[in-house]
Structure 1
Amino acid sequence: MTRTRTALALAAASVLLLTGCAAGADPDAGGEAAAGEEPRSGGVLQIAMSADYSCLDGQQARGGELNIASQILDGLTAQDPETGEIVPHLAESWDISDDASEFTFHLRDGVTFHDGTPFTAQSVKANLEGIANLGARSSLGQTYVDGLKEIEAVDDHTVRIAFEGPNAQFLQATSTTTLGFYADATLALSAEERCQGDVIGTGPFAFEAYTGNTTVELVRNDDYDWAPEQITAHQGPAYLEGLTFVVMPEASVRNGSLQSGQIDVNSGVSVQDRATLDAQGFPVHTYSNPGAPTNLWINVTQEPLDDVRVRQAITHALDREELASVVFEEQEPATNTVSSSTPGYQSQEDLLAYDPELAGELLDEAGWELGADGVREKDGQPLKVRITDYYKYNYTELIQAHLARVGIDAEIQTVTFSERSAILENGEYQIITGNLTRADADIIRTIHSIDQQNTNQREDSVPLDQELADTLAVVDETARAELLTGDVSRALLEEGYAIPMVETLAVIGTGKDVEGFAFDATARQKYYDTWLTE
């Protein structure tokens, strides 16, 4: 099979043409790499994604578009997806002050951007200061560099980064795509222009073309020779000549296209299609996303959710075992404000027990009496809540049923991803579904601190906010993670600020001739070591 660049028109036509491909697929099509076979260079991988995205700039992105940006950008460090260890990448080594307020990075020599310009300490300074200036546009990045005091380019290969106070989470943050680096030509563009994807990084693949709602094309960076050797299988340029991300919203179209060989990767396998792929021998890769699992985030300024007893009742009304069972067998019920794959995780499942009787008692105590129609009432008003959902999770209706059992009438408001982002930013929600991936327990501070994303829309700081801020001074990574996933998480759960439901699971199907597919530590797709057997 000869692999060539797919024409931009392919994706537009494929939605109509590929729905019937599955029936004629040869279950033995393609082949596995023979024992001892060396990776081959060449080919353009076709990757189907479920939706187009509003912004392809990795410094601004916060969702699935980071799977594209992570091919273009490199960080100062990288993170081992198995151990969580931070390893060198664009920085060969680093020094951290005793109080974690100052970081000095010693940069690798010979790194260049896709336009041939050198990556230097000045590049680090310009990018990190630029992220700070993006403000809310970089909703993740601003939390990583919050309190930035000064960046000094000591020389071309040494950069000193100082914060106003301790910032112990920063080292791990330097391994994320959000803190990846762009050339000066990209930094000169407006934030809106960068969202269109015409950006210049240092990564193994370079941007070539973006056709909205259709395709994103990347080409191999032939000069790439600075992969993090501790966590990659080879050095030098990537094996693949390029990557084409194709928008295919319908799950059945993606699955049929994978079976027929018209795409190589289905980046969103549905529960209905998983069994088919397994039966036909297609590799299916899963990874439990670290960070915040799929949650109900609560606006505590909205009645009736301003009462902690109502929030606790919702927590105990949810049967997480049942929620997890309707999606994938590997999916696990949430047992903390972070997933079990997050470094430092410890279970808090006792605070998340399914107990509808307790939920009823809490609502009784709060003055909500069960009405004749099964919906609770107080002062003549029904107990109603609105859940804003942007993804149409398979278990949305099940959540409604769980809450109905204890007398809560839940309305589901389904919105697009961009609509959901605007709603989250302006706080016009009661309950909103969401998850946020990061291989560091500091994600808890990002989501809940009144000084950060404040998804609870709290108007006044509480003792918990000081506890969240204090974690930044805990230099020992293990101790910091244990504090966040222990005492801090318990406080969040007891207050009903976080109502985690199930761990978020990445499920990726690949063609039988695709080898070397991998996830990074944040469950993003990595194609540097990927190759095609034919």
Structure 2
Amino acid sequence: MSTPRTLGTAVALLAVTATAACASGAATTGGGALTIATPADPTCLDPQQTGQLVSLDISRSLVDTLTDQDPKTGKVVPWLAESFTALDGGKRFQFTLRAGATFSDGSPVDSESVKATYDNLVKLPANGAPAYIRGYTGTTITDARTFTIGFDKPNAQFLQATSGAGLGILSKATAAKPLADRCRGDFVGSGPFVLDHYTANQEVVIKKRPDYAWPSSLATTKGAAHLDQVKFVFVPENGARSTALRSGQVQVATQVQPTDQDSFSSGGFRLLSAPSPGVVAPLSLNHKGALADERVRKALLIGINREELVSTVLGSRAKPATSVLSSSTPFYQPTTQIKFDQAGAERLLDEAGWVKGADGVRVKDGARLTLNWLIPAPMPAANEQVQAQLKKIGVELQLNAVPPAKYVEQQSAGNFDITAVAVSRADPDVLRNLFYSKGQNLWHLPASQLDTYLEQQLSAATAAERQTAVTNAVNWILDHADTVPLYEGSLVSAVSDKVTDLAFDASLRLNLHEAELG
């Protein structure tokens, strides 16, 4: 089992002014073309419009961010901004940009480009990256390198959010691009790579930017990337990705399944693995139909044997969930509501009027307790085990695996009873992204005290106040069974020993800037 990382708190960082060491461009060695097998076509490359892991693995190398986050400590550190500080108790944040950074179209990374990025981002639907700047009141420019970003109330998570690709700075010209074109890669960042081409359902190729010289303050490589090119090929079948790696067709296979992981721990390969911070892998529940009844939701919450799920399907790099948040997330605390009680689950369903039929599936008013589980293909190995466990209490799950693009469409339309949305982010504000009724509200949650708790953790002035608000929010979510946490997972990629210095960033996106191919 990987040891969870100790991560710093965003609140504690609000009062800190950080200053970057000056990093001049330095010659790099190496070269070559790296090929990475990923599970799916990203469908959209624009980090402002999507939070899909496969997409951000690509766009993380195309855009730079104002800050970075140290994956070992959780501390927010300089990147495009050489210094930053919080003002007015976290309602305003002043940044000073480092000199010399440019976008790939040659335009400068300046205060105007930052303002254009944020002014445009706030106009997008408030899911993913736009949710991080809810309450944005504008960017005030002092000079070409100094600006202040304001909010209508304190925003405890904002500095950490500025380290994620979703808040990456884009050129002023990008704001005028149609959103559909931006999804196909028509946006301009300042990252160490630029997009060469994107062929749907086949590949994305990015190429090194030779004049790049402004990496994160965490980087040891101060100039351009070592690799000349990185190709992402889309291989949905888990076994096919592993086979491609063993045969040498690719040098990295992402999201390797537990059944294949041990075979890549030696013999010319290694595993790149890290526990996922943020919201654990869940059953995400649409509060409509049968699941509008809290008793049914609570039956699902306690009707799953997580220990059995982990030991039989998920392997040693996963562990049973003990909260909505993973234990590697700041402000995590274990909870008491997550337990296995099959008899208790059956009593709850009895009380809700669902009676077991002849085939074991419960029935009420002539309708079977059949729930549609919307899944982005390829289907995870754990899903069939969850299906089998819930069948024991009389709940029938229909596993509906669809292509990623169709999944997003059906999820947005609410065409599901259950789906599974886990978000990797090293900040507890990830709860607000998913459970705030005033946000996108995919689960049709009613307005409640939960909204107040989520607002309180965002505006907390101290770490203690934020801990209280986060704990209250988590307890509310579990007391009302608004989601069903399953397990804490690790993101695992298998890597050829020919590849060196490939790593995850704090949000588990691939950091390709320093990777080399021997």
TM-score by length of structure 1 reads: 0.88
Evaluate the alpha carbon distance shift between residue 188 and residue 485 of structure 1 in structure 2; reply closer, same or farther with a 3 A threshold.
Answer: same
Q: CA deviation at 1:198?
A: 3.3
Partner of 1:218: 206
Match of 2:452 among 466, 469, 472: 466
Q: CA deviation at 1:40?
A: 4.0
Evaluate the alpha carbon distance shift between residue 478 and residue 439 of structure 1 in structure 2; reply closer, same or farther with a 3 A threshold.
Answer: farther
Matches within 5 A, 1:301-312: 302-312=288-298
- Which stretch of the first structure deviates more once superposed, 491-500 or 269-278? 269-278
Match of 2:498 among 513, 516, 522: 513
Gaps of 5+ in 1: 1-37
Cα distance in 2, alignment partners of residues 364 and 251 from structure 1: 40
Q: For 1:114, what is the secondary structure of its paired residue?
A: coil
Residue by residue over 1:440-482, the C-alpha shift from the partner in whole angstroms, topping out at 9 and shown as x without a partner, is 1100011000111323212x411111111122211335652x2
TM-score by length of structure 2 reads: 0.90
- Which stretch of the first structure deviates more once superposed, 77-86 or 385-394? 385-394
Residues 73 and 180 of structure 1 are in contact (CA less than 8 Å); yes or no, is this contact kept in structure 2? yes
Residues 169 and 472 of structure 1 are in contact (CA less than 8 Å); yes or no, is this contact kept in structure 2? yes
Partner of 1:200: 188
Evaluate the alpha carbon distance shift between residue 76 and residue 390 of structure 1 in structure 2; reply closer, same or farther with a 3 A threshold.
Answer: same
Task: Kindly indicate whether residue 131 of structure 2 is the aligned counterpart of residue 143 of structure 1.
Answer: yes
Q: CA deviation at 1:277?
A: 2.1
Match of 1:161 among 134, 149, 152: 149
Residue by residue over 1:221-253, the C-alpha shift from the partner in whole angstroms, topping out at 9 and shown as x without a partner, is 222222222x22331112112211122223333
Partner of 2:11: none
Q: CA deviation at 1:279?
A: 5.2
Residues 103 and 171 of structure 2 are in contact (CA less than 8 Å); yes or no, is this contact kept in structure 1? yes
Partner of 1:240: 227
Residue by residue over 1:338-368, the C-alpha shift from the partner in whole angstroms, topping out at 9 and shown as x without a partner, is 11221222212x2111111111122222232
**What's the RMSD between the two structures over aligned residues?**
1.8
Partner of 2:216: 228
Q: CA deviation at 1:327?
A: 2.4
Matches within 5 A, 1:22-41: 40-41=29-30
Partner of 1:112: 102
Residues 75 and 176 of structure 1 are in contact (CA less than 8 Å); yes or no, is this contact kept in structure 2? yes
Cα distance in 1, alignment partners of residues 460 and 380 from structure 2: 37
Residue by residue over 1:389-435, the C-alpha shift from the partner in whole angstroms, topping out at 9 and shown as x without a partner, is 22411121211111111122222222221222122222222111221
Match of 1:527 among 509, 512, 517: 512
Read off the aligned partner of 2:450 and give its amino acid letter: L
Match of 1:299 among 286, 289, 302: 286
Match of 1:420 among 395, 401, 407: 407
Q: CA deviation at 1:373?
A: 2.8
Partner of 1:42: 31
Partner of 1:93: 83
Cα distance in 2, alignment partners of residues 210 and 376 from structure 1: 48
Cα distance in 1, alignment partners of residues 46 and 152 from structure 2: 28
Residues 301 and 484 of structure 2 are in contact (CA less than 8 Å); yes or no, is this contact kept in structure 1? yes
Read off the aligned partner of 1:213 and give its amino acid letter: N
Matches within 5 A, 1:469-488: 469-477=455-463, 479-480=465-466, 482-483=467-468, 485-488=470-473
Match of 1:251 among 228, 234, 238: 238
Residues 502 and 515 of structure 2 are in contact (CA less than 8 Å); yes or no, is this contact kept in structure 1? yes
Residues 435 and 504 of structure 1 are in contact (CA less than 8 Å); yes or no, is this contact kept in structure 2? no
Match of 2:159 among 171, 174, 178: 171
Cα distance in 1, alignment partners of residues 361 and 144 from structure 2: 67
Q: CA deviation at 1:290?
A: 1.2
Cα distance in 2, alignment partners of residues 234 and 281 from structure 1: 25
Evaluate the alpha carbon distance shift between residue 44 and residue 477 of structure 1 in structure 2; reply closer, same or farther with a 3 A threshold.
Answer: farther
Cα distance in 1, alignment partners of residues 353 and 207 from structure 2: 62
Identity of aligned residues (%): 36
Cα distance in 1, alignment partners of residues 28 and 107 from structure 2: 30
Residues 198 and 208 of structure 1 are in contact (CA less than 8 Å); yes or no, is this contact kept in structure 2? no
Residue by residue over 1:244-293, the C-alpha shift from the partner in whole angstroms, topping out at 9 and shown as x without a partner, is 11222233332222222221111132233223323534111111221111
Cα distance in 2, alignment partners of residues 232 and 456 from structure 1: 40
Residues 40 and 404 of structure 2 are in contact (CA less than 8 Å); yes or no, is this contact kept in structure 1? no
Evaluate the alpha carbon distance shift between residue 280 and residue 204 of structure 1 in structure 2; reply closer, same or farther with a 3 A threshold.
Answer: same
Residues 39 and 531 of structure 1 are in contact (CA less than 8 Å); yes or no, is this contact kept in structure 2? no
Q: For 2:77, what is the secondary structure of its paired residue?
A: strand
Cα distance in 2, alignment partners of residues 264 and 382 from structure 1: 48
- Which stretch of the first structure deviates more once superposed, 213-222 or 173-182? 213-222
Task: Kindly indicate whether residue 353 of structure 2 is the aligned counterpart of residue 367 of structure 1.
Answer: yes
Cα distance in 1, alignment partners of residues 351 and 435 from structure 2: 27
Cα distance in 2, alignment partners of residues 172 and 190 from structure 1: 28
Q: For 1:410, what is the secondary structure of its paired residue?
A: strand
Partner of 2:6: none
Match of 2:308 among 322, 341, 352: 322
Task: Kindly indicate whether residue 377 of structure 2 is the aligned counterpart of residue 388 of structure 1.
Answer: no
Cα distance in 1, alignment partners of residues 409 and 443 from structure 2: 15
Cα distance in 1, alignment partners of residues 290 and 178 from structure 2: 42
Cα distance in 2, alignment partners of residues 283 and 216 from structure 1: 24
Residues 441 and 484 of structure 1 are in contact (CA less than 8 Å); yes or no, is this contact kept in structure 2? no
Q: For 1:166, what is the secondary structure of its paired residue?
A: coil
Residues 297 and 455 of structure 1 are in contact (CA less than 8 Å); yes or no, is this contact kept in structure 2? no
Read off the aligned partner of 1:327 and give its amino acid letter: L
Partner of 1:186: 174
Task: Kindly indicate whether residue 381 of structure 2 is the aligned counterpart of residue 398 of structure 1.
Answer: no
- Which stretch of the first structure deviates more once superposed, 382-391 or 507-516? 382-391
Aligned residues: 489
Partner of 1:432: 419
Match of 1:493 among 473, 478, 484: 478
Read off the aligned partner of 1:329 and give its amino acid letter: S
Q: CA deviation at 1:330?
A: 0.8
Cα distance in 2, alignment partners of residues 484 and 341 from structure 1: 18
Residues 75 and 174 of structure 1 are in contact (CA less than 8 Å); yes or no, is this contact kept in structure 2? yes
Read off the aligned partner of 1:191 and give its amino acid letter: L
Gaps of 5+ in 2: 1-26
